[in-house]
Structure 1
Amino acid sequence: MKKIKGFSNKFLFLAVALLIVIKIIFFVAIKIGFISLGLGGGNDSDYYHFYAIGYYDFAVNTWPVILRYLNDIGLYSREALSVVLLILNLCFIPLLAAKLSGLSFRKNQKYFLTIILICLIYPTLFIYTFDVYRDVFMVFSFLVGCLIVKKCLNSSNYINFLLLFLISLLIGFFLLGLRPYLGYAFLLALFLWKIRFTKKRLVFLAILYFSALFLVNYLGYLDFLTEYRSGFEEVGGGSTLGLNFSNPVLFIPNFILSTLGQLFGLYITNPLAVILLLIETLPFFFMFLYVLKEIKLADSFVRFLIIFFVLYGSVWLIGNDNLGTAVRLRIYNYLAIYISFFYILRTKRLLLKEL
């Protein structure tokens, strides 16, 4: 079995510690105004803040409702909440990703530190800690939900399984309130995790998947997504792919181009896109290939993650045409593959030890 080579455990540990210190310094520099940072993908933090303090009364999702509740009980502070989001980004999200991968610091130190480092170095997640954006909280909620699902699917006791499944459903509905298609993908994956994968079956499932997408679109059931996507054409500029989904015949080719441009980051518009391609997408791409290669080792939990990956990506890759928004939306796809990669890597290592 191929191991992660090139870096010692000591180097990885120092890299993790140094990255945490650098991010804290950068966070403070942003907060005191020493550095200014322009965010792509829409600045919605002002809306969330003003709803929290009572200036607005229309909630577009559950996040501002949570903020309003915190404000009502005297626990809301825009700056303090930003610090909480930073802590989630620096500690809880990386540790949850490692936990979901089945890794421990004592038994799988190199793999453990590597996934921690990958999560810490992920720039998009860090950017949305600087204000009261919902992204970091949604990622944390999603990973907590995945942890409950993992415990549910690994439970041998029917009562425990049922209880954890019900909790997973509740988390799915909570995610539905935060972002509808995130919750939809999570909930549907809960009922489809029994689909088994092999390399041959993947080819059949891919053909079935694209055929179903084409048919559903042809019948008009995806019009709400394609019409939403067409709204990005009004923005124009270099931030959109400019793909037109109105022609049913070109729907699948355009969907593939949208996937290459947004999920795989191959539509390069500026130097930042190159940085994100190298730091975020390149690890995702190689891990994605490895997961496909070793798909036979996918257990019920990894199957849940892969099914979620497909269902979630199917919605936003059709409905979104803004490259700034794409880097926010694809976080869950990337994390699903990161976790699946290390989970399968650990599983393969254990199997080889038993031989």
Structure 2
Amino acid sequence: MKNNNVFFNRISNTAIFLIIVILFFLKLILYILIKNQFVDIGIGGGSDADYYNAYAEGLSQVAVNTWPVMLRYLNDFGLYSRVGISYILLSFSLFVIPLLVNKLAGLDFKKNQKYYLYSFLLCSIYPTIYFYIMDVYRDVFMLFSFLIGCLVVKKSLDSSSFLQFSFLFVLSVLIGWFLIGLRPYLGYAFLLSLLLWKIKFTKKRIIFLGILYFIALFTANYVGAFEFLTEYRAGFDEGNGGSTLGLDFSNPIMFIPNFILSFLGQMLGLYITNPLAIVLLLLETIPFLLTLIYVIKNINLADNFLRFLFIFFIIYGSVWLISNDNLGTAVRLRMYNYLAIYICFFYILRVKSYLRKSKGLLKDEDHTDRNGSE
């Protein structure tokens, strides 16, 4: 923990806050430039936003998920604006999502100011969260909905009253069903994690569970449980859907090696295809990888809520790593995995800081008692 303290204390709170403010204005300026077509960042996926807008305005009659239905509902009441929705998503990116991450990590600005600012900064420099607020994409709204769901789960699992626990747990299930409407496997992973949060992790046990996890994946694939996912993945090659890893999941013997390569290429973004991928590697993958290692090393400190997040990370990640083979889509899909680990990371930092202070107080009290000062 001393090494972590040295790292975090290298930059003053004032300097971190100043960086956040500078980033805020830079992102605001870039947003205005992009919206006025002075700059084109070329993130792709424009057809998604065009389709959502067309459905909202009644030009399309086929709803592929809940998001365009919500937009159509707003339009029916005269509340829909393509630019207006984008501004709302901008506020989510700049304020709401960083604040929710801090709330979920249990960070208080006064008590944990250093960690609070670092967490806010980590969310602020996350490029993908910012890129997809330029139009009526569903990604940032889904991330917001997921975090709200996590907040309800946290309050449910922390509740000491059975009645309150039951009410919030049911509300969590309803949010899970809402997430299914936005992206099916996101919602199902959320709901399944609600059933498995009692699984306890320790440093020794996580190795055993890891081996069991790969055996379960191999067995499920061998009996055809993932056939729908692997067929969907094959469609990326057939449809020429952008940059792909080109892994063949049809061979059951090669399933685990291919799954690991998919993790390296998509979750960690180690398959570099353009300069933007390098930027994402530096600003997204490296912080994620460092925080993931730290969380695994300190997994014994996980409480009910952290177990829920870690199990969600495994289940949700497993599904899309098997089914997706588009590297552009991967950066959108992994946002939930990354933020789940960020929350775990700062949550554990806060807990360890509290334990360290408690030990310090106990030592001081013991020293006082031995000297007979009281």
Q: TM-score, normalised by structure 2?
A: 0.93
Which residue, 304, 326, 334 being the options, matches 1:300?
304
Quick one: distance in 2 between partners of 1:43 and 1:115? 33
Match in the other structure for 1:290? 294
Match in the other structure for 1:249? 253
Of stretches 86-95 and 234-243 in structure 1, the one that deviates more from structure 2 is 234-243
Secondary structure of 2:47's counterpart equals coil
The change in CA–CA distance for 1:51 and 1:41 in structure 2 (over 3 A counts) is closer
Which residue, 19, 26, 30 being the options, matches 1:26?
30
Match in the other structure for 1:74? 78
Match in the other structure for 2:14? 10
Quick one: distance in 2 between partners of 1:99 and 1:172? 20
Which residue, 158, 174, 177 being the options, matches 2:181?
177
The correspondence of residues 69-108 of structure 1 with structure 2, limited to 5 A, is 69-108=73-112
Deviation at residue 43 of structure 1 after TM alignment: 3.4
Quick one: distance in 2 between partners of 1:233 and 1:248? 19
Match in the other structure for 1:352? 356
Quick one: distance in 2 between partners of 1:82 and 1:256? 36
1:117 aligns with 2:155: no
The sequence identity of aligned pairs, in percent, is: 64
The change in CA–CA distance for 1:167 and 1:238 in structure 2 (over 3 A counts) is closer
Which residue, 272, 275, 278 being the options, matches 1:271?
275
Amino acid paired to 1:245: F
1:61 aligns with 2:65: yes
Deviation sequence 1:266-315 (CA, Å, 0-9, x none): 11111111110000000000000000000100000000000000000011
Deviation sequence 1:84-134 (CA, Å, 0-9, x none): 000011010000001101101111111101111111110011011000000
Amino acid paired to 1:28: I
Deviation at residue 37 of structure 1 after TM alignment: 2.7
1:316 aligns with 2:359: no
Secondary structure of 1:245's counterpart equals coil
Amino acid paired to 2:204: K
The correspondence of residues 123-134 of structure 1 with structure 2, limited to 5 A, is 123-134=127-138
Amino acid paired to 2:42: G
Kept in 2, the 8 Å contact 1:236–1:242? The answer is no
The runs of 5 or more residues in structure 2 that have no matched partner are 360-374
Quick one: distance in 2 between partners of 1:234 and 1:195? 40
Kept in 2, the 8 Å contact 1:259–1:317? The answer is yes
Match in the other structure for 1:162? 166
Kept in 1, the 8 Å contact 2:98–2:123? The answer is yes
Deviation at residue 232 of structure 1 after TM alignment: 1.1
Match in the other structure for 2:372? none
Kept in 1, the 8 Å contact 2:242–2:326? The answer is no
Which residue, 208, 212, 215 being the options, matches 1:211?
215
Deviation sequence 1:21-52 (CA, Å, 0-9, x none): 11111001111111123123563000000000
Structure scoring higher RCO (CA < 8 A, sep ≥ 6) equals 1
Aligned residues between the structures: 355
Runs of 4+ in 1 over 6 A off after TM superposition: none
Quick one: distance in 2 between partners of 1:29 and 1:326? 26
Amino acid paired to 2:325: D
Deviation sequence 1:221-249 (CA, Å, 0-9, x none): 10110011011112458711010000000
Deviation at residue 6 of structure 1 after TM alignment: 1.7
The change in CA–CA distance for 1:93 and 1:262 in structure 2 (over 3 A counts) is same
Match in the other structure for 1:221? 225
